[in-house]
Structure 1
Amino acid sequence: MAGFLNVYTISLFVAIGGSLFGFDIASISGVVGTEQYMKFYGNPLGVTQGAITGAMAIGSVIGALSSSFVGDKFSRRKSIQAGTVLWCIGATIQATSNGIPMLIAGRAIAGLCIGLTSALVPIYQSEIAPRKIRGRIITFQCLAITSGSLIQYYIEYACSFINSEAAFRIPWALQIIPAIILLIGLFWFPYSPRWLASVDRWDEVLRVIAFLRTSNKDTNDPRVLAEFREIEEQVRSEYEESSNSYRELFSKKIRKRLFLSMAVQVWSQLSGMNVMMYYTVYVLQSAGIAHARLLVSFQFVIDVIMTIPCLVWTDKWGRRPSLLVGSIFMALWFYIIGGLLVRYGQPNPVTNQPYTWVIVGHRAASGTILACAYLAVGTFALGWAPISWLYPTEVSPVRVRAKSVALATAANWTANFALGFAVPPMLRSISWRMFFIFGSFNIAAFVHVLFALPETKQRTLEEMDEIFEHGELLWKTFVAKGDTDRLDKLAKEIEMGTVDVSRLFESRMQTTTPG
């Protein structure tokens, strides 16, 4: 249990990198409806507001793509630390911006950090986690995102009562604090054992596994030796099979996993939820709901609360059920919102507002739209939010994992930019039709997951080759050849002395924890 507590502690801490993405979401949704923001930046509407919001995603695409070679060359840990420095620079520029161009520049620089951390934090978590709780461990990333959004939104809501530019400058400046904490704290945390294996630092691999899995850092523990041997065999096999990881990434063996990883990330954006989080204030105001900014704060509370069940049970539910159920219900909530807007809405008589369609005098319809917005947030938190970060990190071999996750994350941020940029103009041009578009995207995601996505719960990262090649129906849970729990069987054989592990001790290794 002590080893598991080490994993939990490390994963929770490194998930601060995910909270920075949450801070970004709320840094826009918390200020777009305030008079101070609109006055200082000249009431940005449509394309202008889309450019401000989308600047973060542009930087994130570049950061995600660079994470592949940066993460492989300098380690996951050091690359995350480099990202925190970029975040501090970007947040400082935002907090001191004197106009829209400087604000966009600051958000783009901070986006470089988001791209790096959103790709590398889940990789790091997946590579230190025991297989039986890997889903739970990576869900910490999602919990951190939702918690960061909640904290930042309430900071901005409190500051909105300041009748000056400080209403938005103070919250943007405070974003530096978690980044500094993460930067400093990571110096005391271990490298990923699978990254160490990829650079042939095998002595450290064994010591890190012992540190993560046992209370006394015992490198002779059968569980430690079994995991070490499985990692070693998989890494050596991968190096023998290919001399060029980029070529392997698009090989027949790997490209299906790459495209599935990218698809999961893109569908999570096309679900409409993340971009809705940016602009929910506009949606509620157009629905004729008073005190919209206060009511939006409750969606961040719901987001955090509904992430907890997934955190506890995702390794029992599995990946496929979470995505399938999530898609159907997300579609339902968006169709209801769109239907109510078209049935009870009318053109907005005020021309200089972010939305051109409003509901006036229909309290029941407005209340139902609010309820559906909350239900959409809760549904997303239970399914697509955590699984979209978890699945890409699971399915790729260690040799190409950073590159595969980088491309998947870049696809996520490309879709995020496209939607973040497009939604403000869409609210002004097609209004209620936008919700039917998002509902239809969710139906398409359901069909794709149903026929293309294998289940990966509770399998080791080294078993993914078999999962994608065993040829059984996708809705049947994969069982490893010869045994239902191969790693435990190997540990038992090592304990009984039937497996030779003498070559693991060619050099004497101290059981100290690497920094």
Structure 2
Amino acid sequence: MGLLSKSGSKKPYFGLRGGWLTFWITVACGTDMTLFGYDQGVFGGVIVTPDFLQIHNLEGPTKTATLGTVVAIYDVGCFLGAVFAAWYGEKIGRKKAVLLGTIVMSIGAILQITSYSLGQMFVGRVVAGIGNGINTATAPVWQTETSQLKWRGKLVVIELILNIAGFSLSNWVTYGFSFVGGGVAWRLPLAFQFIFIVILFATVPWLPESPRWLIAHEHEDEAFTILADLEDKSEDDPFIVTQHKEIVYTCQYEKANAVPWSQLLRGKTPEGKGGTKTMRRLLLGCGTQFIQQMAGINVTSYYLPTVLIQSVGLTEKMARLLAACNSVSYLLFSLIGIPNVEKWGRRKMLMFAAAGQAFCYTIITALLRYSEKEGYDGQKQVASASVAFFFLYYVFFGIGMQGVPWLYPTEINSLSMRTKGAAAGTATNWIFNFLVVEITPYGIQSLHWKFYIIWLVFNASFVPMVYFLYPETAGRSLEDIEDYYRHDPPLLVWRDKEATRTGRPEKYSQKEEEEMRRNSSADLGALRRGSRISNQWVSREGARANSDYDGKTEHGEMEEERKEI
């Protein structure tokens, strides 16, 4: 697809380059995340719809556990989809993975919209979850690998803010249709997600594949062209040549030190001089997704109307209205994260959010304790006051916790592990999402105010966890992060200024400038021939590394070979 150039040949991507090309990639990835948010939020309104509960035989307090499973089984599907992306996503590429996930989501949506039995709804929820799991494991990686350094963090955070927009939209749609009654009240809100599915099918096929994926799979010329198109520069520009060489070198190093899943799952990873701390980086990426889910967000994302009805004592209509209003507040405050994700950095945003959320759950727990205390005169007033702190919780979460846990795994993992690492992080998100969503109805029903203590403790513990263990990734290129882990960094990072500062360390900027000066006078054809030789070396060394784990090429030898190329 494309426009005709003066010579009569078609221009790729309709002739779009630079910022406009990145914009449309963001539209596709953002639509994917909007669909994720809508699909996640819409069921909170569906499960309090009388017609839905009647048709699926979910009415009454004895059905609480089953209702929780109907909601949570979606997360099992998402987990399975993320696992699929971890195993096969790297083989088929970012674009094809997103299209596959969207097709599967379409099938799941149709099954749910047309459901007249609990069994069909279960199947529809699982199938839709599988598609969403594939998409959410892939879209942030695609965005990260096609974004310029100065935009990378902001664009991924924008994606997750669009996730909130989808969540907010679902709350207003279900609230509006609650006045209609009958099957329309829940079937049409579920059908509304096809708007986003159509947008994905209309954009993804003509957009560029990740140049890093192309280089890793020996599509050299296409990768060179896409890098130039994304940066809106010529292919012989020193910056493009430098960037290409760095990606090739990173690919060389990672494939020479690649770790098969069979080794990785047994804890055998390359450490020391030749290693890149694969397992540590994988766990750090998964850890951010664990932090997001165990912060308690889906206690309210899936069940806020239920929480407001059962814990606070509001009517169904008022609970729906407040949930919809809260989603708007959530969306507006999350916008603060866009300009500050690079300015504050990933570490500070996570710690700020966790501390604020711990404070909110402390007040919520205290207020609900008194609202349930027999003989206390102000029960209604303190219960109503807790609503303000549910709203405030979303403010902290939207600013600091919404986007970073999805961004971090795409940055911290190595090139060869990026798809696997992002997918493993997404799988972690969904399996703990399932845990939270499964236990919440029963927890509220049986523990009452004590249920919220769990989320208070978790949030308080996340502040020191991030402070001591998590290196900063803001202001660094993906290749800078590779270089950092090639030099055996310590596990505890809080005393390492290079690891914790927000701005890009000077040594990386100097290295890039020196490389650009050298490449400014280089012959592009020779460099391309060198790149092809490099990737032949990559394939050979990668295969050897996978078959002979202890026979890796040492860093010094690799550096010499790169210089020769």
Report the TM-score, using the length of structure 2 for normalisation.
Answer: 0.83
Partner residue of 1:352?
A: none
Deviations 1:166-188 (Å, cap 9, x if unpaired)? 11011112212211220232111
Q: Given the alignment of the two structures, is residue 264 of structure 1 paired with residue 280 of structure 2, yes or no?
A: no
Letter in 1 for 2:129: G
Q: Please give the secondary structure, in 2, of the residue aligned with 1:383.
A: helix
> Within 5 Å, which residues of 2 pair with 1:329-408?
329-346=356-373, 362-408=379-425
Partner residue of 2:171?
A: 153
Q: Distance in 2 between matches of 1:443 and 1:321?
A: 14
Count of matched residue positions in the alignment of Structure 1 and Structure 2: 495
Partner residue of 2:512?
A: 487
* Structure 2 counterpart of 1:441, from 458, 461, 475: 458
Residues 396/359 of structure 1: CA separation in 2 closer, same or farther (3 Å cut) = farther
Deviations 1:7-66 (Å, cap 9, x if unpaired)? 133123222111222112222112233333333333264211111111110001110001
Q: CA deviation at 1:194?
A: 0.7
Q: CA deviation at 1:157?
A: 1.4
Contact kept in structure 2, 1:245 and 1:400, CA below 8 Å:
no
* Structure 1 counterpart of 2:155, from 118, 137, 147: 137
Q: CA deviation at 1:248?
A: 6.0
Contact kept in structure 1, 2:371 and 2:380, CA below 8 Å:
no
Contact kept in structure 2, 1:289 and 1:366, CA below 8 Å:
no
Residues 359/449 of structure 1: CA separation in 2 closer, same or farther (3 Å cut) = farther
User: What's the C-alpha RMSD, in Å, of the aligned pairs?
Assistant: 2.5
Q: Given the alignment of the two structures, is residue 14 of structure 1 paired with residue 29 of structure 2, yes or no?
A: yes
Partner residue of 1:47?
A: 65
Contact kept in structure 2, 1:303 and 1:377, CA below 8 Å:
yes
Q: Please give the secondary structure, in 2, of the residue aligned with 1:378.
A: helix
Q: Distance in 1 between matches of 2:450 and 2:367?
A: 11
Partner residue of 1:293?
A: 320
Q: Distance in 2 between matches of 1:333 and 1:185?
A: 40
Letter in 1 for 2:202: I
Q: CA deviation at 1:360?
A: 8.7
Deviations 1:90-109 (Å, cap 9, x if unpaired)? 01010111122211110110
> Within 5 Å, which residues of 2 pair with 1:456-471?
456-468=473-485, 469-471=488-490
Q: CA deviation at 1:200?
A: 0.6
Contact kept in structure 2, 1:58 and 1:108, CA below 8 Å:
yes
Q: Distance in 1 between matches of 2:512 and 2:312?
A: 54
Residues 426/196 of structure 1: CA separation in 2 closer, same or farther (3 Å cut) = same
Residues 333/503 of structure 1: CA separation in 2 closer, same or farther (3 Å cut) = same
Q: Distance in 1 between matches of 2:199 and 2:55?
A: 31
Letter in 2 for 1:415: F
Q: CA deviation at 1:150?
A: 1.5
Contact kept in structure 2, 1:94 and 1:102, CA below 8 Å:
yes
Q: Please give the secondary structure, in 1, of the residue aligned with 2:416.
A: helix
Greater Cα shift, 435-444 or 478-487: 478-487
Contact kept in structure 2, 1:30 and 1:156, CA below 8 Å:
yes
Letter in 1 for 2:512: L
Q: Distance in 2 between matches of 1:421 and 1:362?
A: 28
Contact kept in structure 2, 1:86 and 1:112, CA below 8 Å:
yes
* Structure 2 counterpart of 1:62, from 68, 74, 80: 80
Partner residue of 1:71?
A: 89
Partner residue of 2:526?
A: 503
Report the TM-score, using the length of structure 1 for normalisation.
Answer: 0.90
Q: Distance in 2 between matches of 1:93 and 1:119?
A: 23
Residues 209/14 of structure 1: CA separation in 2 closer, same or farther (3 Å cut) = same
Q: Please give the secondary structure, in 2, of the residue aligned with 1:398.
A: coil
* Structure 1 counterpart of 2:49, from 22, 25, 34: 34
Q: CA deviation at 1:164?
A: 1.1
Residues 15/95 of structure 1: CA separation in 2 closer, same or farther (3 Å cut) = same
Residues 227/340 of structure 1: CA separation in 2 closer, same or farther (3 Å cut) = same
Q: Distance in 2 between matches of 1:240 and 1:430?
A: 53
Residues 275/20 of structure 1: CA separation in 2 closer, same or farther (3 Å cut) = farther
Contact kept in structure 2, 1:334 and 1:439, CA below 8 Å:
yes
Contact kept in structure 1, 2:171 and 2:323, CA below 8 Å:
no
Q: Distance in 2 between matches of 1:361 and 1:213?
A: 61
Letter in 2 for 1:293: R
* Structure 1 counterpart of 2:444, from 420, 427, 433: 427
Residues 243/108 of structure 1: CA separation in 2 closer, same or farther (3 Å cut) = closer
Greater Cα shift, 149-158 or 40-49: 40-49
Q: CA deviation at 1:491?
A: 3.0
Residues 491/25 of structure 1: CA separation in 2 closer, same or farther (3 Å cut) = same
Q: CA deviation at 1:346?
A: 4.7
Partner residue of 2:253?
A: 237
Deviations 1:240-297 (Å, cap 9, x if unpaired)? 2337466368514211111111111011100001231111112222313351110110
Residues 301/56 of structure 1: CA separation in 2 closer, same or farther (3 Å cut) = same
Contact kept in structure 2, 1:132 and 1:459, CA below 8 Å:
no
Q: Please give the secondary structure, in 2, of the residue aligned with 1:430.
A: helix
Greater Cα shift, 320-329 or 136-145: 136-145
Q: CA deviation at 1:461?
A: 0.8
Greater Cα shift, 172-181 or 318-327: 172-181
Deviations 1:52-96 (Å, cap 9, x if unpaired)? 111110001110001023221111110100000111100101011
Q: CA deviation at 1:474?
A: 4.7
Q: Distance in 1 between matches of 2:343 and 2:20?
A: 20
Q: Distance in 1 between matches of 2:160 and 2:110?
A: 25
Q: Given the alignment of the two structures, is residue 303 of structure 1 paired with residue 330 of structure 2, yes or no?
A: yes
Contact kept in structure 2, 1:288 and 1:359, CA below 8 Å:
no
Q: Distance in 1 between matches of 2:222 and 2:79?
A: 32
Q: Please give the secondary structure, in 1, of the residue aligned with 2:335.
A: helix
Q: Distance in 2 between matches of 1:238 and 1:206?
A: 20
Q: Distance in 1 between matches of 2:175 and 2:46?
A: 8
Contact kept in structure 2, 1:142 and 1:307, CA below 8 Å:
no
Q: CA deviation at 1:490?
A: 3.0
Contact kept in structure 2, 1:86 and 1:113, CA below 8 Å:
yes
Q: CA deviation at 1:153?
A: 1.9
Letter in 1 for 2:422: V
